[in-house]
Chains A and B, each alone.
Chain A
Amino acid sequence: AQSVAQPEDQVNVAEGNPLTVKCTYSVSGNPYLFWYVQYPNRGLQFLLKYITGDNLVKGSYGFEAEFNKSQTSFHLKKPSALVSDSALYFCAVIPAGNSGNTPLVFGKGTRLSVIA
């Protein structure tokens, strides 16, 4: 069965500094990987995905993520953090080529706090 680990419950970063939110996964075969962001009392918003191809994926709001197959990781990054990036971030995985609409498996989330 697939699983996702987000090892940090909380990440604090100063505004203007680079940020990284970590994600490692376990899945049979190749993965499809996703990052979502959640603001208070809202649903999840899609940020970016890795399906195949380039290991560096660019997404919304200046975020990017690097797929590393050997380390089974998909860390979310941004070169310069904004206070408005403060939110809860979720990593999710599903086996590539999975038939049907098997649900995504989500990590427990990492709360990012960007300090002015």
Chain B
Amino acid sequence: DGGITQSPKYLFRKEGQNVTLSCEQNLNHDAMYWYRQDPGQGLRLIYYSQIVNDFQKGDIAEGYSVSREKKESFPLTVTSAQKNPTAFYLCASSPERTNQPQHFGDGTRLSIL
């Protein structure tokens, strides 16, 4: 079945450490997105990519970085500059046409040790 795979499901970060969250899709979608979810705040956009080797900052990009070297993959790195990284991170993808829904992975929960 086609879908989006996020790994790991749970991740722990030490102070000063960078961590990378994986997102892979086999839906042949052009666009991919990263969201951060905090209780009571809904989904906030971190980065998105419309095409390979190109990406744009979302609303809360500071302290995060991404790459899009392959159509299927859009990893997110949470850097040590992100002072409050504890959250639930969701990856999504969508086809080219904007009237089509986004598909979501099952998320990665990041916590600080």
A contacts, CB < 8 Å to B: 9, 32, 34, 36, 41-46, 49, 51, 90, 94, 96-104, 106-109
**Other-chain contact of A108, B41, B94, B109 (Cβ < 8 Å):** B41
CB proximity of A65 to chain B, nearest CB, Å? 13
- Give the residue among B92, B94, B101, B103 with the most A Cβ atoms within 10 A: B101
On whether the beta carbons of B106 and A101 are closer than 8 Å, the reply is no
Other than A34-B101, A43-B106, A101-B96, give 18 A-B pairs with Cβ distance below 8 A: A32-B99, A36-B101, A41-B88, A41-B107, A43-B4, A43-B105, A44-B92, A45-B104, A46-B102, A51-B99, A90-B43, A101-B31, A103-B33, A103-B45, A106-B42, A106-B43, A107-B42, A108-B42
Contacting residues of chain B (36-72) with chain A, CB-CB under 8 angstroms: 40-43, 45, 48, 50, 58
On whether the beta carbons of A101 and B42 are closer than 8 Å, the reply is no
On whether the beta carbons of A98 and B107 are closer than 8 Å, the reply is no
Write out the residue numbers on chain A whose beta carbons fall within 8 Å of the beta carbon of B50.
100-101
Which chain B residue shows the least CB distance to A102?
Answer: B98
B contacts, CB < 8 Å to A: 4, 6, 30-31, 33, 40-43, 45, 48, 50, 58, 88, 90, 92, 94, 96, 98-99, 101-107, 109
Q: A101-B30, A103-B33, A103-B48 are in contact. Are A46 and B42 (CB under 8 A)?
A: no
List 15 A–B pairs whose Cβ atoms lie within 8 Å, in order of A's numbering: A34-B101, A43-B107, A44-B92, A44-B102, A46-B102, A97-B98, A99-B98, A100-B50, A100-B98, A101-B31, A101-B98, A103-B33, A103-B45, A103-B58, A107-B42
On whether the beta carbons of B42 and A90 are closer than 8 Å, the reply is yes
CB proximity of A45 to chain B, nearest CB, Å? 7
Which chain B residue shows the least CB distance to A50?
Answer: B99
On whether the beta carbons of A98 and B98 are closer than 8 Å, the reply is yes
Which chain B residue shows the least CB distance to A6?
Answer: B42
On whether the beta carbons of A104 and B42 are closer than 8 Å, the reply is no
On whether the beta carbons of B104 and A101 are closer than 8 Å, the reply is no
